[in-house]
Amino acid sequence: MTVLFECTYDNERWFGLGVPRDDTDLRLYALGGDQLGALMAESGLIEGLGGSADALTAGRERLDVRAEDRRRVRMLPPLMPEHVGDAVVSGFMMTHNVKADASTPDQPNWFVKGLGDALKLSGEPLSVPFDAVAVCEEAEVVLVYVGDEKTGRPVYMGHSFGNDVTDIGRFKQHNGHLSYAKLCDAAISPALHVGPPPPRVTGETVIERDGAVVWSGPFTTGTDALFYDLDTIMATLMDYEALRRPGRVHYVYIGADRSSFHAGHEMADGDRVTLDFAGHGVTLVNRLAWGARA
C-alpha cells in the first residue's frame, strides 16, 4: 500500500513516501504550487484506479533532509488545504459492534468537531473545554475525502489514524449534547494510507500522569469491528449538498472501541496519551490541555 505525507520545509510545501519517523532522514519532493490531492487524482493514485507513486515523483525537485535538520520540517495533516477553513473534521458515534443494541439506528449519529485547525499532530497538545465533565481518548481510523473540482462530490483519497478526544461525560449527562461533547481537538497521523480502510486494527492505549502510567489497555477497530457497512453510511452522508464543495477536504472519524472511560479511568489536565496502532507503523503521543474560561 502506498503511504504519502505532506510537510513544509522552510515554509514551502513538499511531500514524501512512507510513514515519517521523528528520528530518521527524509526524502522530500517539491509540490511547486500543486495540490497533492489533485496530483493523486491525475495520476490515478486513488482507490480502484491502479496508479503508482512513480507518477507523483517523476521530474520533481528532490530534497534529502537529514534527521538532525528536521527542525526545519513541519508535518501537516494528510492533504490539509492552505486555508484551514476549507477542511471539515467530523465523525460518527456508536458505530462499533460492542456498542450496538436494539435501539441502534440505521444511520449512526454524525457530528462536527470543527475546521482544519481542530486537527493536531503527535507531540502537540489536545485542548478540551474548561468545563469538560469526563474526557476520554478514542483510537480511530480516519477517512480522508476531497471534493471533486467539478462536481464538489467528496472523493475518497485514503485513510489515516487518529484520536477523537471526547467529553463523554457531557454526552452521558444528556445524549442530546453530543455536538458539545465532540468540540475537543483531535489527533491525526500525517501519513495518508492510499487504499481501502483496514478491516482490523489492534493497538494499545497508554495514559501517563506525572511520568507514571495510570492506565493502559488494548483497542480494536477497523471495518470488521463496525456494526454498519462503511460504504453505505459514507454514501448517505456525502449525498448531502452542504458537504459537496470543490476542493473541500473532509476528515471523517469512523468511531471507536471502548476507551479508558469505560474502564473507570478519569482523565486530568496534562495527562499524556499514547496510541500505538500496531501493525501500521503509527504512534500518536499527545498531552491533554484543559482550556481557560473565556
Residue-wise pLDDT for 144-153, tens only, equals 999 999 999 9
Residue-wise pLDDT for 187-242, tens only, equals 999 999 999 999 999 999 999 999 999 999 999 999 999 999 999 999 999 999 99
Range 254-266 average pLDDT: 93
pLDDT of residue 47 exceeding 80:
no
Residue-wise pLDDT for 150-192, tens only, equals 999 999 999 999 999 999 999 999 988 999 999 999 999 999 9
3-state helix, strand, coil in the chain (%, to 5): 20, 40, 40
Q: Is 67 left (phi over 0), alpha (psi -120 to 50) or beta?
A: alpha
pLDDT of residue 49 exceeding 70:
no
Q: What is the pLDDT of residue 50?
A: 65
Please give the full DSSP string across 220-273, using - where no structure is assigned: EESGGGBSS-HHHHHHHHHTSGGG--TT-EEEEE------GGGGT----TT-EE
Question: What is the second-level CATH architecture of the domain 84-290?
Answer: Alpha-Beta Complex (3.90)
Q: What is the pLDDT of residue 188?
A: 98
Q: In the chain, where does the domain assigned CATH 3.90.850.10 lie?
A: 84-290
pLDDT of residue 115 exceeding 70:
yes
Residue-wise pLDDT for 88-105, tens only, equals 999 999 999 998 888 889
